[in-house]
């Protein structure tokens, strides 16, 4: 393998593991991020990303192959630029300002023969129609003749103990065969399996297909959860039963809403692009409508469960277990918990919350954070305990034993039965 001088732009959930893996594979890496405090912390061995432990970061720093910077001048001499910056939605529209800013930084150091890879999730066409013209305008270099232009989606699943960067197959779409060859060789130096597609658009679409598939299927089971409650059916059991089919079925779970950087955001990138063709992407829009309504539905169920024991939400003490968007991580991005808490507070509830991975406060709420271990006293003091995130730190037996009423939106209490235990 030939060693490259790599610059990773954006040192978050996606960029930091990549910078560490590339350095570990023998490349020389400059990690660039305009966030001065983040860069200072990284230089001191403090990782802002849970999946990159401080110990690993210190080891990588000690290896001397990576350095972190917020200074654009430090990119000189790099031959491979990997862009891993956020691609949020602003007023439901793709916001590529950070990609544009990163491309401007790349343009200061890109030389003929270099490689530019976009890893940020975006709508199909971004690499060729937005990145390439900007690079041409700023540098006079055009792809595929002067440099290699590539899209390679990151598929990292934060908190997943089995699949990490190196053992998750990597999709690569280069503009032209030589760009694909160069990108394949680069990624194969630290990822077990690289899957080539014919161009950047196919790679961009692959990522959106994956996340739209999840979004739509989560909406399907969320809608089913709502009517199964009325039909008196335990949907969790039905999902478990359907999962025994060894072909043609993939299990998805209902929940209090969808969160994270990807599922609530990425499909909208695709539907935005489709709308520009003059028609809607109906699957995505319907799924968004259903998933976005889940916090309201959960709040209404909480009200019903309190009503059943002659209590009103107004004045009730509700303890929310877990506020992160998913199990065993502290990521609050797009988590439905703040929306749900606001809805409960809007009905007059006194909300307290506990999450071993998150420290407060939660914006625009008066909710009180419960610090330390979850105790029997805290559980017993609530009129209702609402399981929002099924962190493995929680002991379901303890929760069911001490809570007066439990509403479990994640089936954390699977296998337990009690008069005061209810599920989504
Ligand atoms: N987090 C995930 O699970 C995940 C998974 C797959 C794909 N993605 C995609 O990867 C991209 C990055 O997401 P993330 O979760 O790593 O974001 P993040 O917020 O964790 O990190 C992004 C970093 O980019 C930095 N940044 C902002 N503007 C910059 C610029 N102009 N130049 C260089 N750095 C800049 C920020 O300071 C931040 O440190 C997004 O498009 C996201 O959709 C994320």
The predicted structure's pLDDT at residue 47: 94
In ligand 1, the atom with minimum distance to the C-alpha of 35 is 37
Domain check: are 309 and 357 in the same one?
A: yes
Among 33, 35, 86, name the best residue to mutate to test ligand 1's pocket (greatest count of ligand atoms within 8 A of Cβ).
86
Q: Which residues are catalytic?
A: 262
pLDDT at position 165, please?
94
Q: Is 206 part of a structural domain of the chain?
A: no
What's the rounded mean pLDDT across residues 262-275?
92
Those residues whose C-beta lies under 8 Å from the C-beta of residue 155, and which sit 6 or more positions away, are 168, 170, 171, 207, 210
The answer to whether the CB of 106 is under 6 A from ligand 1 is no
- Minimum mean pLDDT among 114-128, 255-269, 387-401: which range? 255-269
- Residue 38 CA neighbour count, 13 Å, CB half: 17
Closest approach atom of ligand 1 to CA 83: 33
Domain assignment present for residue 13? The answer is yes
Q: Given a cut of 80, is residue 418 above it in pLDDT? A: yes
Same domain, 163 and 282: no
- Looking at the fold, whether 158 and 259 belong to one and the same domain comes out as no
**161 pLDDT band (50/70/90 cuts)?**
confident
Q: Are residues 117 and 238 in the same domain?
A: no
- In angstroms, what is the span from residue 16 Cα to ligand 1's centroid? 9
Asked which of 83-92, 112-121, 217-226 is least confident by mean pLDDT, the reply is 83-92
Using the predicted structure, report yes or no on whether residue 160 has a pLDDT greater than 90: no
Residue appearing with tokens 């990588």: 60
Domain match, 235 and 319 both: yes
Going by pLDDT thresholds of 50, 70 and 90, the confidence category of residue 82 is very high
Q: What is the rounded CA–CA span in Å between residue 290 and residue 363?
A: 24
DSSP assignment letter at 300: H
Q: For residues 276 and 382, state if they share a domain.
A: yes
Q: From the CA of 13, give the closest atom in ligand 1.
A: 16
**Mutational pocket test of ligand 1: of 7, 32, 261, the residue with most ligand atoms within 8 Å of the beta carbon:** 261
Say whether both 192 and 257 belong to one domain: no
Same domain, 24 and 157: yes
For residues 373 and 393, the answer to whether their CB atoms sit within 8 Å is no
| Structure token pair of residue 124 | 């199909």
- Given a cut of 80, whether residue 380 has pLDDT beyond it is yes
Per-residue DSSP letter, 282: H
Q: What is the pLDDT of residue 382?
A: 98
**281 belongs to a structural domain:** yes
Q: Please state the rounded mean pLDDT for residues 392-412.
A: 98
Q: What is the mean pLDDT of residues 408-424?
A: 97
Which of these, 11, 6, 66, lies nearest to 35 by C-alpha position? 11
Q: Read off the pLDDT of each residue in 53-79 and give the average, rounded to a whole number.
A: 95
Tell me the residue range of the domain where 88 lies: 5-197
- Are 21 and 63 members of one domain? yes
Quick one: three-class SS letters along 122-179?
CCCCHHHHHHHHHHHHHHCCCCCCCCEEEECCCCCCCCCCCCCCCCCCEEEEECCHHH
Count of structural domains within the chain: 2
- Tell the residue nearest (CA) to atom 32 of ligand 1: 102
Q: What is the pLDDT of residues 292-318, one digit of tens each?
A: 999 999 999 999 999 999 999 999 999
Asked if pLDDT for residue 51 goes beyond 90, the answer is no
Cβ-Cβ contacts under 8 Å for 391 (sequence gap 6 or more):
321, 322, 324, 327, 328, 355, 356, 357
Among protein residues, the one whose CA lies closest to atom 28 of ligand 1: 98
Helices and strands (DSSP H and E) totals, the chain: 14, 16
- Average pLDDT score over residue span 189-217: 97
- What's the pLDDT at 120? 97
The reply to whether 125 falls in a domain is yes
Task: At 103, list the tokens.
Answer: 């491309």
Same domain membership, residue 180 and residue 245: no
SS (H, E, C) 341-355: HHHHHHCCCEEEEEC
Q: What is the pLDDT of residue 1?
A: 60
Report if residue 93 sits inside a domain: yes
State whether the beta carbon of 144 lies less than 6 angstroms from ligand 1: no
Structure tokens at 6: 């790599």
Half-sphere exposure of 8 (CA within 13 A, CB side): 25
Co-location of 66 and 161 in the same domain: yes
- Name the token pair of 278: 């003059």
| Residue-wise DSSP of 60-125 | HHHTTSEEEES-GGGGTT--EEEE-----EETTEE--HHHHHHHHHHHTT--TT-EEEE-S---TT
The answer to whether residue 211 scores a pLDDT higher than 80 is yes
Bridge partners, residue 81, by sequence: 7, 116
Q: Does residue 273 have a pLDDT over 70?
A: yes
Asked, for residue 100, whether it belongs to a domain, the answer is yes
Q: What is the CATH number of the domain that holds 324?
A: 3.40.50.720
CB of residue 11 inside a 6 A radius of ligand 1: yes
Asked if residue 203 belongs to a domain, the reply is no
Report whether residue 121 contacts ligand 1, using a CB cutoff of 6 Å.
yes
- Which residues, in sequence order, are CB contacts of 137 under 8 Å at separation 6+? none
- Clarify whether residues 297 and 159 are in a common domain: no
Q: How far is CA 203 from CA 123, 188, 206, 273, 354, in A?
A: 10, 17, 5, 15, 40
* 311 in a structural domain: yes
Q: Is 325 exposed, middle or buried (0-12, 13-18, 19+ CB in 10 A)?
A: buried
């Amino acid at each position: 393998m030939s060693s490259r001088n790599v610059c990773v732009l954006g040192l978050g959930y996606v960029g930091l593991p990549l910078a560490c893996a590339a350095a570990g594979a023998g490349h020389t890496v400059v990690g660039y991020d305009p966030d001065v405090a983040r860069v200072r912390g990284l230089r001191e061995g403090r990782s802002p990303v849970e999946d990159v432990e401080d110990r690993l970061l210190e080891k990588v720093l000690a290896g001397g192959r990576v350095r972190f910077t917020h200074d654009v001048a430090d990119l000189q001499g790099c031959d491979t630029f990997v862009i891993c910056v956020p691609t949020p939605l602003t007023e439901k529209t793709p916001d590529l300002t950070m990609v544009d800013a990163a491309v401007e930084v790349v343009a200061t150091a890109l030389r003929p023969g270099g490689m530019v890879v976009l890893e940020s999730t975006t709508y199909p066409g971004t690499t060729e129609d937005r990145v390439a013209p900007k690079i041409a305008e700023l540098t006079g270099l055009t792809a595929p003749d002067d440099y290699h232009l590539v899209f390679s989606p990151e598929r990292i699943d934060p908190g997943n103990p089995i699949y990490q960067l190196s053992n998750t197959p990597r999709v690569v779409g280069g503009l032209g065969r030589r760009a694909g060859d160069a990108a394949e060789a680069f990624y194969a130096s630290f990822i077990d399996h690289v899957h080539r597609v014919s161009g950047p658009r196919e790679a961009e679409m692959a990522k959106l297909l994956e996340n739209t598939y999840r979004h739509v299927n989560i909406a399907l089971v969320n809608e089913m959860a709502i009517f199964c409650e009325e039909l008196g059916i335990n949907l969790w059991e039905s999902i478990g039963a359907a999962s025994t089919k060894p072909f043609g079925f993939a299990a998805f779970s209902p929940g209090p809403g969808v969160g994270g950087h990807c599922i609530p955001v990425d499909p909208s990138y695709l539907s935005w692009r489709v709308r520009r063709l003059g028609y809607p992407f109906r699957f995505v829009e319907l799924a968004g409508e259903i998933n976005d309504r889940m916090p309201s539905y959960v709040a209404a169920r909480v009200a019903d469960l309190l009503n059943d024991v002659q209590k009103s939400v107004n004045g009730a003490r509700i303890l929310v277990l877990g506020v992160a968007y998913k199990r065993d991580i502290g990521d609050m991005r797009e988590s439905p918990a703040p929306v749900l808490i606001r809805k409960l507070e809007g009905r007059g509830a006194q909300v307290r919350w506990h999450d071993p991975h998150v420290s407060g406060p939660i914006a625009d709420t008066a909710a009180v954070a419960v610090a330390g271990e979850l105790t029997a006293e805290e559980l017993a003091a609530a009129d209702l305990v609402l399981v929002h995130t099924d962190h493995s730190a929680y002991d379901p037996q303890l929760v069911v034993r001490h809570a007066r009423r439990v509403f479990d939106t994640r089936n954390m209490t699977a296998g337990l039965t009690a008069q005061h235990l209810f599920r989504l």
